[in-house]
Amino acid sequence: MELSKEFRERFIKTLQGRDYVLYGGLLELSKQRGLKRINTRVIQIPSAENGMYGVVEAEIETEDGIFREIGDASPDSVNRAIQPHLLRMAATRAKARAMRDAVGIDMVALEELGDAVLPDETYVPDNPRDLVLTFGKHVRKPLGQVAQQDPAYVAWLSENARDEAVKRAARSVLQGQAEIEPGDFPEVRIERPPTH
C-alpha cells in the first residue's frame, strides 16, 4: 500500500532501523476504507493456571468485508509497566492485526510491541535498573537483572547503545553495582561519588 508523505510523517515511526505504523494510523486508514465496526472477544483470561497468558479475538468490518485476527499477551511478551494490563494489550494487538489485514499494510503497529520506547523519547524510569531492554540478546529484561547476569553486556551498552537514554541508564546501573570495581571494565569509566 502506498502511503502519503503526510501520513508517514504523522503515523510512521522508525525504531532501530525498522518502520512501524501507529495504531491511530491504522484506524485512520480503516475509516478511509469505510470502517463499520470493531468488535473484540476475550478467548482466554490471564490466570496463574495458564501462565498469565491472555488471548483476544478482534473482528473489523469495513466496506471490503470482515477481517478477524487474534492477539495475545503474557508477562514474557510485554514490559513490566504493561503486565497489569495483559487483556488490553492482547486486544490492542488483535485489533491492530485485523486492521492491518483490512487496509493491506504489512507494517507492524508500534503498540503491538508492548515494550518499545520511541527513538526520539528519552524516557528512563526513576530507577534505571527498571529500564526494560527492547533489543538484543537480553530483550524484555530489566537492566538491573541484566547487570547481575551479564555485567559485561551492560558495560558494552554504556558505551555503544544507539539510544542515549539506554547509555545513561547502563552507566547509572554500573555506578550503583557494588561488586563492579573501576578496573573490571577498563573501557568504561566508572565515577563514584566521594565518601565522607
Mean pLDDT, the chain, whole residue set: 83
The string of pLDDT tens digits covering residues 12-54 is: 988 767 889 999 999 999 999 999 999 999 999 999 999 999 9
Res 3 pLDDT > 70: yes
Q: Where are the domains of the chain?
A: 5-113, 128-184
Tell me what pLDDT residue 71 has. 95
Q: How many other C-beta atoms lie within 10 A of the C-beta of residue 180?
A: 18
Handedness of CA 117, 102, 107, 20 (dihedral sign): negative
The string of pLDDT tens digits covering residues 146-170 is: 999 999 999 999 998 877 778 888 9
Res 6 pLDDT > 50: yes
Q: How many other C-beta atoms lie within 10 A of the C-beta of residue 91?
A: 22
Distance, CA of 115 to CA of 176 (rounded, Å) = 25
Q: How many CA atoms lie within 13 A of 152 on its CB side?
A: 1
Tell me the pTM. 0.60
Distance, CA of 78 to CA of 94 (rounded, Å) = 15
Closest to 73 in 3D by CA, of 56, 60, 57: 56
Please check whether residue 112 is in contact with residue 97, taking contact to mean a CB–CB distance below 8 angstroms: yes
**What are residue 60's phi and psi, to 5 degrees?**
-115, 130
CATH of domain 5-113: 3.30.160.20
Distance, CA of 37 to CA of 30 (rounded, Å) = 10
